[in-house]
């Protein structure tokens, strides 16, 4: 019996994971629940993005969020206005975010668009917002001319990894070579049918 793990759990051994999707056209479509809508990033939304990511445990502090923003998005407002978006509730509060982006390191030569920083505020998780976030990010990538997609994640956000597998992503081939043990961790936690070829392993 596997003990209960949180959807962001640092007890789990950390590995960087990368998933890919060969055809965005084959991705399922999900609509937002009633009372929510999508809006694109506007200059000044940085701190809101950090707040959402911190609530979802992606950052331990505001300062960590500043560092993450600087690494990925600093000086890219002109791109973010049609690549980063938020979910807004009926009160106008931004409660989730994702970005239809690319590999910031320039190492991925596959031509895939990248889905980045998919997060929902902690208190809004479990309300059917994550799938629409991913679906909308893929829709934007397609509108920008991408035909395939990748999404980075990690073992400690294992439920997100399961969601991506359910969505039609599968382990990126090179990432499997580099982080086989990480995929064995996900196999152990989820027993996902797409990971049938992987052997389970110790998690912590």
Per-residue pLDDT tens over the stretch 155-165: 999 999 999 99
DSSP states along 128-161: S-HHHHHHHHHHHHHHTT---EEEEEEGGGHHHH
Strands 113-120 and 94-101: antiparallel
pLDDT band (50, 70, 90) for residue 4: confident
Can you list the domains of the chain with their CATH numbers? 1-22+149-204 (no CATH), 29-147 (3.40.630.30)
Place of tokens 């392993």: 201
pLDDT band (50, 70, 90) for residue 2: low
Give Dmax over CA atoms of the chain in angstroms.
49
Distance CA 202, CA 204 (A): 6
- What's the pTM? 0.93
Distance CA 100, CA 118 (A): 10
For residue 152, is pLDDT > 70? yes
- pLDDT recorded at residue 1: 44
Per-residue pLDDT tens over the stretch 93-128: 999 999 999 999 999 999 999 999 999 999 999 999
Per-residue pLDDT tens over the stretch 58-101: 999 999 999 999 999 999 999 999 999 999 999 999 999 999 99
């Amino acid at each position: 019996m596997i003990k209960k793990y949180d959807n962001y759990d640092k007890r789990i051994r950390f590995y960087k994971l990368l998933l890919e999707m060969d055809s965005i056209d084959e991705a399922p479509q999900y609509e937002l629940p009633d009372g929510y809508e999508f809006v694109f990033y506007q200059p000044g939304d940085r701190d809101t993005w950090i707040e959402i990511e911190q609530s979802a445990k992606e950052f331990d502090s505001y300062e960590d969020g500043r560092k993450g923003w600087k690494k990925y998005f600093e000086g890219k407002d002109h791109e973010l206005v049609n690549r980063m978006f938020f979910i807004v509730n009926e009160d106008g509060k931004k409660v989730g975010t994702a970005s239809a982006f690319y590999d910031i390191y320039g190492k991925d030569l596959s031509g895939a668009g990248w889905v980045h920083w998919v997060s929902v505020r902690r208190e809004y998780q479990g309300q059917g917002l994550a799938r629409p976030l991913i679906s909308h990010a893929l829709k934007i990538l397609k509108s920008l001319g991408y035909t395939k997609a990748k999404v980075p994640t990690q073992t400690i956000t294992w439920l997100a990894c399961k969601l991506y597998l359910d969505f039609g992503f599968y382990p990126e081939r090179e990432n499997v070579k580099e982080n086989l043990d990480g995929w064995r961790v996900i196999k152990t936690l989820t027993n996902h049918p797409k990971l049938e070829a992987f052997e389970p392993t110790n998690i912590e």
